[in-house]
Amino acid sequence: MLVSVVVPIYNEEETIPFLYKELKEALENLGYPYEIILVDDGSWDKSFICLKELAIKDKTLKLIRFRRNYGQTAAMSAGFDHARGDYIVTVDGDLQNDPRDIKKMLEKAQEGYEIVSGWRIKRQDTFITRKLPSMIANRIISKLTAVRLHDYGCTLKVYKKEVVKNLHLYGEAHRFIPALASWMGVKVTEMPVNHRPRKYGKSKYGLIRTVKVILDLINVKFLLSYSTRPIQVFGSFGLVSLLLSLLSLGGLVYMKIAENADMTGNPLLFLFILCVLVGVQFITMGLLGEINIRTYHEIQNKPIYTIAEIVETP
């Protein structure tokens, strides 16, 4: 069994030597052949230089360098595309994830689970800016996606290759992989993992990321429920709007007959016109969405990143 470990790196020059040492120690104890895929997500410090020196000396390393910063989702997607392992492990590059947890997570995966997600029970982050928003987001995500996890944001996860090879990730969708994979009927479990305080560098995340997560959650919910039938969601809004237009028209006619009210100056006339226009627009959007969905599923896949170079020792 080959294990692939995918590590996104962005401006982590101080952590790289320690990360490499810990990963090698943990993976050597697995008893399986392995590869480490390091994805430099457009770092502007000396991260790539440090990574390249390691990749040249170590045949188990593959280094992918992006031309610019595309974000963690794109970095993971690149790692998934180039991974050859039967199991694919994702680990943060900031040393907060403990590589020693990989072994027990792989053992859990071999019990029949296709996704094993880490749960940072004792998370070593600030409460207001990191832990509290994460707690709220995890509850909302679990409620809307019906995939119950305590910690969607933990990067440390183990996937069977069949799960991630069939996923196309955009935006900040990497945290929603368990939910996105749920439509395939995958078996997902969660287990406690060690989480350590950040010793080097600065966190790349802040409260502004919460807004991005909420927007991506709306997108994921739509994809999970209506990705192949957009006419149902847009058409429903359209039909409700048309129903309101009929009610407005009925009230308008009644007021004209019963009270001889002026129709041209009646607010219900404007409400009737507005609801008709909105209803037609929603239904039209649904039909256009159906066309786009069919086009999307029929065209060839397009990657969400561009690679400057790949370094590996043959």
Could you give the count of Cα atoms lying within 13 Å of 63 in the half-sphere of its Cβ?
Answer: 26
Cβ 90 vs Cβ 76: under 8 Å: yes
Give the tens place of pLDDT for each residue, 151-203. Answer: 888 999 999 998 888 777 776 778 888 888 877 778 899 999 999 888 876 76
Domain ranges of the chain: 3-227, 230-291
Taking the model in full, what pTM does it have? 0.74
Give the tens place of pLDDT for each residue, 198-257. Answer: 887 676 665 566 667 777 777 777 766 666 677 777 888 889 999 999 998 888 888 888
- Among the four given CATH numbers 3.50.50.60, 3.30.1660.40, 3.90.550.10, 3.40.50.300, the one describing domain 3-227: 3.90.550.10
284-288 long-range contacts, CB within 8 A, separation 24+: 285/230, 285/234, 285/238, 286/230, 286/231, 286/232, 286/233, 286/234, 286/235, 286/238, 287/231
As given in the structure block, the two tokens for residue 126 are 């600030």
Give the tens place of pLDDT for each residue, 213-222. Answer: 777 777 777 7
d(CA 97, CA 79): 18
As given in the structure block, the two tokens for residue 243 are 């129903």
d(CA 216, CA 221): 9
Say which DSSP state 300 is in: P
